[in-house]
Structures are given as structure tokens and as C-alpha cells.
A and B are shown apart, each in its own frame.
Chain A
Amino acid sequence: MSMHRETFWALQRKAAPYLFVAPFVIVFCSFMVYPLLNSIWLAFQFTNGPQSSVFVGFDNFLFMLRDPDFWTALKNTAIFTLFSVFLQLPLSLGLALLLNARWVRGRNFFRMAFFSPHLVGQVFVALLFSLIFLPHYGLLNRALHAVFGVGLDTKWLMNANLVMPALVLTSLWMYVGFNMIYFLAALQAVDRNLYEAAMVDGASRWQQFLHVTVPGIKPIAVFVIIMSTIGSFQLFELPFVLLKGPGPDNSALTIVMYLYNTGFSTGDLGYASAIGWVLVLIILTVSLAQAKVTGLWKKNV
């Protein structure tokens, strides 16, 4: 009896970790690893709907290189990423620095105010901003008119040159407070004694920022840069709902929208997989480059 019991206890202890990871591993293998491997195979197929497929070698990739829509999508996505990352980060850091001052009152209120847009999903933001960008009646034109005297008839969503600024502005609203939370956490983790030591050494505010703050928050800053770049490259919902498609002159066509249109409107899953892998390569290359340039792997960060 007690022998039995001991072997049972030893057995359940040995089996426990396998049972604990099993649900995850089963789903992970069926719906992530397998589709991932399958998508490599699919990328070399011509498909018409999910049932029929023919091996076409590198044709999908060669077609992509010659398809002007792909280049438009790539250009739009890259411009969006560049502007949204480079506008968001300094603004997020600036907000975090302001809020981090010891004498700031109502820190929690401001934190919530800046963060709250992040709670609204991209589809809902797009619905809301489709009215905010309206000519004549929209909140944005009214605000610009009231503050700068700009005319009320700016057609943000109908003018190919203004679509991208509208998207960047909207994403700025959505993510500036979200990134600020990361910077704020990083700033609060910087050792206060370092500032005192710098002050004793006669360092100015600017020197303190450069030699204490910047190195202190660098790991998080790199993390935020890479995360927002990856997120920006995946832009889809916002333009898809805001402009009900690729917008005037394809000015809001993004890589994921291009993938969605070819894969699920036209029904070529093979081509959609090929686009997916090109997106993977672009994102990996850009994030590795960012990690290298910012010295993420140097010992002294």
C-alpha cells in the first residue's frame, strides 16, 4: 500500500511538467508550428482558394518584385513606420520626463489621460477618426481653424497627400501614451543616487540627462523602438476601416492590406504566404539592424 503510494507520488511529480505544458504544446504545434512550416510550402504554390494548388517555384516572389502595388505598399508602410516611430518616441520620452519630475501634481490623472486612447481598439479608433477627419464638420479641422485660422475644407481622407499624415497623427494619438508608460517605468528605475553623485560633480541638468538618464533608460528605449517598428510594419485595421480600403491612389495600401486583398479577396493563399514571408524578412532585418545600431548586444548598456 505505502509502496504503491510512494511510486504514485514520484510518478505524478515526474509527469507534472509534461502535463502542464501539454495543452500549450498541442495547440502551439497544430496552430503555429505546423501552419508556419506549411506557409513555407504554400509560398511556392499558385492556389485558387484553399483546395487547389500548383507548384510554381519562385514565381510568387518574382511576380511580387514586378508588381507596382507591392512597391506602393512597401513604400507606404515604410514611410508610416519611419514617421510614427520617430515622432512617437521623442514625444513619449518628453511626456515621461515631464511626469517624472518629483513635484508634479496629479501624476496618475495625466498618466491615465495619455494612456487611455490605447484601450480603444484600432477598428473603433478608425470609426471615431473617420468623423474627426471630416471636412467642415470634423473636430480636427475645427480645432485647426480655431487655433491657426486654417480653412475648414481640408479633405484629410480624400487627398492622397494627406492620408499618410492622417494615419500618422491617429497612431500618434493611440500609442504616445502607451510608450510613455514604458519610459516612465524606466525613468523611475534609474538610481536616484546617480543623480546626486552627478550633482556633486557639478554636472548641469543637460549633462545629467546625457550621462545618467540616457544610459539608464537605453535598454527600454531600444525595446520600445523595436516593438513600435514591428507594430507599425503590421499596420492594417486603421487604414482598412478608416478609408474602407487602400485609399485614394493606393495612398493607404499597406503590406498587410496587400496580403489580405490578394489572399482573401482574390483567393491566392500561396501568394499571400509569399507576402507574409517577405514581411517576416523585412521585420527581422530592420529589428536586427536597429539592435545593432543601438548597441543592444554591447556589454556596457
Chain B
Amino acid sequence: MEKERMKANRPMANPARRMGGAVLPFLVHGVLLALAAIMLAPLFWLVCAAFKSPEDLFHYTFASPHPTLHNWRVLFEKEPVFRYVANSLFVSSALTLLQLLTASLAGFALAKYEFWGKRPLMTVMLATMMIPGQVLLAPTYKLINHMGLIDTYWALLLPGAVSVFGIILFRQSILQVPDDLLDAGRIDGCSEFRIYWEIILPVSRPMVGAFTLIAFMGAWNSFLWPQIVLQSRHLFTLPIALNNMVDLYSQEYGALMAGTLLSILPVAFLFALLQKEFLAGLTSGAVKG
């Protein structure tokens, strides 16, 4: 009763607020549009720069009226770009698959089974998550060097094959799967691995989508560790190769921007495919706490 009267009274009793109701959204949308323009300007500039001739690059702030493929020709003539792209695709896909497999399996075990050593394992995992990875650089380099794997892809694939963060994400999502579903599978004669493959993985699809992007992005953009262990140019991934090109052709701005644009596209494409799962997966851990 009280509530209804207040609701009914408000617009009449407060004409100023009613006016604000029309002005405020207008203002907010204006602010949002301006901010979006500022955020997107560097990316738009990048796209324009990749298609501008050297003379036009700084002559026109954004797009030039004479778009050209000049930068791309320079880029592909000077450097084995296809090789770098293939390297990056191989390393990032392999790391993503490895991390997906190890994280979903371990996440399943930690969510749905009781086994010896489970508590201490989880404690150690959480403890290592608190520790920044840079402390591992020197000892891992020493280990990889001892194994004779410097300047090979094993140096990237072995230490990168697992993600503690990924296991925690998968464990949280698999905890939501009802036990009855798994028991039904067991009654039907499924082995535990078939339960993982035919029940757990399909129902965790949103998490698989989210983690695929998280893992792929991390691997694709990874720089410090590959910079330390890769020495041969034919093994370089895109971030390493592009950083190298800055020193080699510092005046070829346009070609560098073409390379940068090319390097961003695969992640952007994957994001376009998986954005819904990604944004939900990103925050799920934090919101559920």
C-alpha cells in the first residue's frame, strides 16, 4: 500500500527528476559513444595504417583515399611471414589442446572423486597460483638446457602443457554436474573414461569454449619465455619475429603495422566465435567466489 502510493506519487511530486529522465540517457549515450570512439581509435588507426603507402602514412590521420597493398608486399618479401604464422598457430593450438585435456581431466577428478592425496594436491596448486611465474624462468631455463631442449618447441610445450587456473575453472564447472547423471552412466555400463568423454565434456561445453580462448590467447601472445628459449629464426613465433623486425626495419612502419594487424586477427576471429562462453567463463570463478 505504502509502496504503491510512493510509486504513484513520484513522477508528479518531482517534475525535475522526470526531466532528468529524458536528459540523462541522452548524456550517458553521448559519453559512452565518445569513450567507445577513443577506445577503438588506435585499432581503427592500425587497420588504416596497414593499407597506406609510406607517403600517406602520416599525411592522413586515418584512412587514405589511395589504399594499397604495398606494406603487405614488403612484409612478405622481407620475412618468412607464413612460416611465423604457421609456427604461432602450431604452438598455440598444441598448447591449447594439451591444457584443455589435462585441465578437464584433472578438474573432473578433483570435482567428482575422493582419492588419496587430493587435499594436499589442491593446497599446493593454490599456493603455486599465488606465485608469479617469473621466479620459474631461471630454474626452468636451467632444466630445459639440461634436457638439451633449448631452441626446440619442447621447451614451450612441456612447461606450458598444464594450467592450474584451467583446472580450477573446470573443477568449478564440473562440480555443478549432478552426480545422478554420472551414476546413470555407470549403470549403463560406461567406464569412468567414457563418462568423462561422453558426459562431462559435452555438458562442460561452455567452459571448454571459454578456456579454449583463454589458453589460446595466452599462448598466442606469449613473449618472455619464447624469447628466452627460441634462437633460430625458423622457429620464431609472431611476437618474437615482430619484435625482431622492429630492430631490422625500423623505418618500415607500414609493414610493421601490417604484421601487427595480421597477428591480431586469429585471436579476434576466435573471440568472435566464442565471446559468449568467454565472457561468462571469465567472471564465473570470481562471481561464485
Contacts and interface: CB of A to CB of B under 8 A. Distances in A.
A190 B212 CA distance: 29
A120 B109 contact: no
B256 A114 contact: no
A119 B43 CA distance: 11
A214 to B, nearest CB: 16
B31 A220 contact: no
Contacts of B58: 136-137
A241 B246 contact: yes
Nearest to B61: A142
A20 B106 contact: yes
Contact of B110 (A21, A31, A264): A21
Secondary structure at the A interface, as helix, strand, loop or mixed, is helix
B220 A121 contact: yes
A214 B205 CA distance: 33
A85 interface: no
Interface in B167-206: 167, 186, 191-193, 196
B42 interface: yes
Contact of A24 (B113, B167, B186): B167
Nearest to B106: A24
Contact of A122 (B158, B223, B260): B223
Interface stretch (B32-40, B70-78, B79-87): B32-40
Contacts, number: 266
A56 interface: no
Contacts of B28: 98, 101, 104
A272 interface: yes
Interface in B12-45: 25, 28-29, 31-32, 35-36, 39-43, 45
A53 to B, nearest CB: 9
Contacts of B263: 121, 124
A158 B42 CA distance: 21
Interface in A1-47: 9, 12-13, 16-21, 23-25, 27-28, 30-36, 38-39, 42
Given A113-B40, A114-B39, A236-B224, A36 B130 contact: no
A130 B251 CA distance: 12
Secondary structure at the B interface, as helix, strand, loop or mixed, is helix
B135 interface: yes
A237 B223 CA distance: 7
Nearest to A227: B286
Contacts of B253: 131
- Top-5 shortest CB links A-B: A121-B221, A276-B135, A16-B192, A17-B113, A35-B139
Size bracket, chain B contacts: 35 or more
Given A131-B257, A234-B132, 8 more contacts: A24-B103, A31-B159, A38-B142, A120-B267, A123-B243, A173-B42, A182-B283, A280-B135
A269 interface: yes
A132 B257 CA distance: 11
Contact of A21 (B3, B109, B191, B282): B109
Size bracket, chain A contacts: 35 or more
Nearest to B32: A110
Contact of A173 (B39, B135, B158): B39
B123 interface: no
A116 B139 contact: no
A124 B139 contact: no
Contacts of B137: 259-260, 263-264, 272, 276
A173 B36 CA distance: 11
Contact of A279 (B57, B132, B217): B132
